[in-house]
Structure 1
Amino acid sequence: MLTLHRLLGGLLAVALLHAPPVIAAEPEMPWNAPEQHIGVATCAGSNCHGSQQAFDDSPVLQNEYFTWQRKDAHSNAYNLLLTDASKRIAANLGIGKAEEAEACLTCHSDYVPEAKRGRRYSLSEGVGCEACHGGAENWLGPHVTGNTHAENVADGLYPLADPVNRARLCLNCHMGSDDKPIDHRIMGAGHPPLEFELDTFTNIQPPHFRVDADYRQRKPYEDNAVTWAIGQLIATEQLIRGIRSDRFKAGGMFPELVFFDCNACHHPMRPPRWNAGAGGPLGPGEVRLADAYMVMSGHVIDALVPDLSEQWDSALASLHLASRRSVPEVQQRAQALAGLVDTALDRMRDTGISRQQALALMDALARSGIERDAADFTAAKQIFYGLEALLAFLRQQDAALGKALNAPMDGLFSAVDAQVDYNPDAMRDGLRRMRRVIADVRAG
């Protein structure tokens, strides 16, 4: 079975040039920015982004609209609200029609206040251009007449090329936020579980851009390994924001359960019914916070900012232990982790990931899965995504290494692809094979 990134061969053939990430002040999210959203149709002209074929002599492909319309699941997001499954979820929640409910539209469309909706704007377009690139009221005209990318950003274009900003935007819907709240009640009503990994999700989205010399000249660009590392830190940042917000303590006797690990409660009843999983110091019967991103961030910090590693491990253990006691203490402990994320991101501005660091990270992910984390399905998927991103980076330098690791990666894909039939022992077997190959490569 082919692994996920290998299905994306064309997109993964990208340059090795590393440019430091631009981690500036957070831009306003497209739905909060003041610019009016004027509709997908304004981008779809045949001389703009509406060509049916890519242009070879243009700095952009110019067929972006058709790629989005025909291949990108974002364009179908609103239509999903018309399905029987969505009708059942809406009925369970008692919110009327899914296609009219703000709780659904906020992520299944480019949902902005009516005052920001231009003449050609339509909710039914789903997650269209401006949902990610920002309201085009001020930047579309100058963009058409030849403004630079930096000038477009200054006019309100959201800077998606920066992986830090891209992760912060995507996670609003793929994890939930104060702007786009997602709670356990929605999951209990039947909504599918949410997951995210920046490099994988960037690559499985049908590419409507071409990373070439011109692209790298105009925009920041990061390789697979750095994009994965940044994505884990930003996902941790977003989770901590949620824990520290009023959403965490909004509901009755219990904290908001969407911040806890689904698999701590939802797991097969066949033996073994409990194991430590990714839950750190917690024992049987203690529901653990959803810490898969935090565990992955710990590996990133250990490899790239090692002097913070001991502080991170201690702060994460303290956060878990605080969940035994009180909401205020959990929120206080989360603050300590937030400071470490900020420091790690700041320190990563001027560093890339070397071949040896990538191999060390792969070995650390595999080892953690064997010793503990593969017991938890959510953590196992993040381990797989991380290994794929790091391997995609290494393949650009060493095709033979990629070939040697293909078989173990195929086994890991089969394990996580099993979903409800996930078998942690099969995952661990694949990780052991992975470690043996990595050990041979590092020794050679």
Structure 2
Amino acid sequence: MRLSKLLPAFTLLATVLMPGAAAATPEMPWNSKYQHVGVATCAGSNCHGGQQAFDDAYVLQNEYLTWQREDAHSNAYKLLLTPEAERMAKNLGIGKAEEARECLTCHSDYVPAERRGRRYSLREGVGCEACHGGAEEWLGPHVTDNTHAENIADGLFPLADPVNRGRLCINCHMGSTDKPIDHRMMGAGHPPLDFELDTFTNIQPPHFQVDADYRERKPYAPAAKTWAIGQLIAAEQFLSGLDSERFRDRGMFPELVFYDCNACHHPMREPRWNAGAGGPLGPGEVRLADAYLLMSGHVLDALAPSLAEDWRGTLNALHRASQDSVGAVRQQARALSALIDRALPTIRDAEIGSNQALALMEALARSGIERDAGDYTAAKQIFYGLEALLAHLRQTGRKPGKDVGSAMDRIFKTVDAESRYDPVAMRAGLRQLRQALSGMQAG
């Protein structure tokens, strides 16, 4: 319940891990050659449109109704018909929101006209094929004896691999060349976007069941690994944006969507600035949005320590470069991206035990107390990470006590609403959590 309150109205889905998956990311569903045949083709009562879950099938078979009744993705297009969307579109001068490509790329399964099947409709919102890939070739075979690998060869997007899944989801949750989201949209009224792969997996109404049969076909990714990979993928996407034409010199200001909202949009009351926020930068220096980069540093500390020192040094260099030039920023962004390329195979194969998860929680809490909780965006990512790592502890049989839950409730209350965020209260909650975690470590 805590997680669902934190997420913006625009949520996207995710699933599970396939060890040993190829490093190369397949073509995204909106760019692949396969035709999108429409949600209606999946909605038959003997396919995914059952009124309730089936006990004797590989899958639940009620996925369509779960999506239609409970999943925000099914309402994504409808949001474009609201007065808020109409006002935003008018502010942007783009005509009707429900007809504007800028909006449809994320609020629908938007593909070129030549790849829209007879039963395809933009009005379905973010439907099955927006994430699972155009079903032209795999729709029929996937209900027979095709293996998962054969379905993927026929165009099914391999969401089982969290690297691929993260790279798909992040397009709408951070923006990309294909799905550009910029500061102009935010200024026109679009809500701020954030992303955390494990949280967004769990907040979505389940349309898959992780049972023995599922684990046999698609091995499950524990929460800690999903969180760790998600942070690196978010950092990768952010750095890719810095090294693209999206981050360009337009005169006095570069593209501001890459900067931390809270560096400018903060209440003019005490405390106005917290030492440590923005790495080496001081008060009044507008900083890049570094929350995912900070979290990735903790991931590397725990799972790829040989890269951690280089990461932190280059991250500080990136912050300094942001006060210099677009070219200098791109140079440091490439250097950080190269470290992610080196780290991802290690993180993919890592086995994260309960003691390691506890150590990561301790590191996140300590970083918030000493530095990072001064920034709301980083504080929220700390909370997301702590929740994912707690879930991992439960998955490994290490049950947190009531004192841990009490501390997490206190932390949640501080990040529940940006307008009320208080770094002093956040740090008090983190201190309480550290005390509770020390009892678990001793146990």
Structure 1 length as normaliser, TM-score? 0.95
Residue equivalent to 1:12:
none
- Any idea what the Cα deviations from partners look like across 1:258-314, whole Å, max 9, x if unmatched? 001000000010012122353100011111111000000000000111111110110
The aligned runs of 1:37-436 (5 Å cut-off) are 37-249=36-248, 251-398=250-397, 400-436=399-435
1:439, CA displacement in angstroms?
A: 1.8
Write the distance in 1 (CA, Å) between the matches of 2:399 and 2:170.
35
Q: Deviations over 1:387-406 (max 9, x none)?
A: 00000110233454243411
Q: Which amino acid aligns with 2:288?
A: L
Q: Displacement, 1:208?
A: 0.4
Letter in structure 2 aligned against 1:167: G
Tell me which amino acid in the other structure corresponds to 2:165: R
Any idea what the Cα deviations from partners look like across 1:84-134, whole Å, max 9, x if unmatched?
100000000000000000000000000000000011000000000000000
Question: Which moved further from structure 2: 420-429 or 214-223?
Answer: 214-223
Describe the shift of the 1:40–1:5 C-alpha distance in structure 2 as closer, same or farther (beyond 3 A).
closer
Distance 1:186 1:253 in 2: 19
Provide the aligned length of Structure 1 versus Structure 2.
Answer: 434
Amino acid at match of 2:380: K
Residues 273 and 374 of structure 2 are in contact (CA less than 8 Å); yes or no, is this contact kept in structure 1? no
The answer as to whether partners of 1:278 and 1:291 remain within 8 angstroms in 2 is no
Q: Check whether the contact 2:79–2:85 (CA below 8 A) recurs between aligned residues.
A: yes
Structure 1 residue 214 displacement after superposition: 1.2
Residues in 1 aligned to 2:93 and 2:257: alpha-carbon distance in whole angstroms: 19
The Cα of 1:433 is off from its aligned counterpart by 0.5
Any stretches of 5+ residues in structure 2 without a counterpart? 7-15
**Cα distance in 2 between the residues matched to 1:18 and 1:144:** 22
Quick check: 1:21–1:163 contact (8 Å CA) kept in 2? no
Task: Give the superposed CA RMSD.
Answer: 1.7
Q: What is the deviation of 1:356?
A: 1.2
Q: For 1:327 and 1:261, locate their aligned partners in 2 and report how far apart those are by CA, in whole Å.
A: 16
Aligned-partner Cα distance in 1 for 2:115–2:130: 12
Q: Is the 8 A contact 2:414 2:425 kept in 1?
A: yes
Offset at residue 231 of structure 1 (A): 0.2
Correspondence for 1:14? none
Residue type of the partner of 2:191? P
Q: What corresponds to 2:12 in structure 1?
A: none
Measured against aligned partners, the alpha-carbon deviations of 1:220-253 in whole angstroms (never above 9, x if no partner) come to: 4211000000000000000011000011006333
Shift of the 396–131 alpha-carbon distance from structure 1 to 2, 3 Å rule, reads same
Aligned equivalents of 1:303 and 1:317: distance in 2?
20
Alpha-carbon distance change, 182 to 390 in structure 1, aligned in 2, over 3 angstroms: same
- Structure 2 SS opposite 1:187: helix
Letter in 2 for 1:169: L
Give the match's secondary structure for 1:360: helix
> 1:154 and 1:400, CA in 2 relative to 1: closer, same or farther beyond 3 A?
closer
Deviations, residues 147-193 of structure 1 (Å, cap 9, x unaligned): 11111001000011111111000000000000000000000000000
Q: What is the rounded CA distance, in whole Å, between the counterparts of 1:279 and 1:392 in structure 2?
A: 29
Is the 2:249–2:326 contact (alpha carbons within 8 Å) kept by the matching residues of 1? no
Q: Please tell me whether the aligned partners of residues 132 and 159 of structure 2 are also in contact (alpha carbons under 8 angstroms).
A: yes
- How far apart, CA to CA, are the structure 2 residues paired with 1:385 and 1:191? 22
Letter in 2 for 1:326: S
Taking every aligned residue pair, what percent have the same amino acid on both sides? 71
The separation in 2 between residues aligned to 1:220 and 1:33, in whole angstroms, is 26
Distance 1:165 1:295 in 2: 22
AA paired with 2:228?
A
Counterpart of 1:98, as a letter, is A
1:21 Cα offset (Å):
5.5
- CA distance in 1: counterparts of 2:393 and 2:322, whole angstroms: 39
Structure 1 residue 350, shift from structure 2 partner:
2.4
Q: Distance in 2 between matches of 1:395 and 1:221?
A: 15
C-alpha separation in 2, matches of 1:99 and 1:425:
43
Q: Is the 8 A contact 2:17 2:162 kept in 1?
A: no
Paired residue type of 1:77: A
Asked if structure 1 preserves the Cα contact closer than 8 Å seen for 2:315 and 2:336, the reply is yes
C-alpha distance in 2 between matches for 1:106 and 1:350: 33
Contact 1:277/1:376 (<8 A) preserved:
no
Contact 2:18 2:160 in 1 (8 A): no
Distance 1:158 1:277 in 2: 41
Distance in structure 2 (CA, Å) of the matches to 1:343 and 1:23: 15
Aligned residue for 1:192, secondary structure, equals coil
Contact 2:354 2:398 in 1 (8 A): no
Q: Unaligned regions of 5+ residues in structure 1, if any?
A: 8-16
Change (3 A) 1:427 1:285: same
Q: Is the 8 A contact 2:17 2:161 kept in 1?
A: no
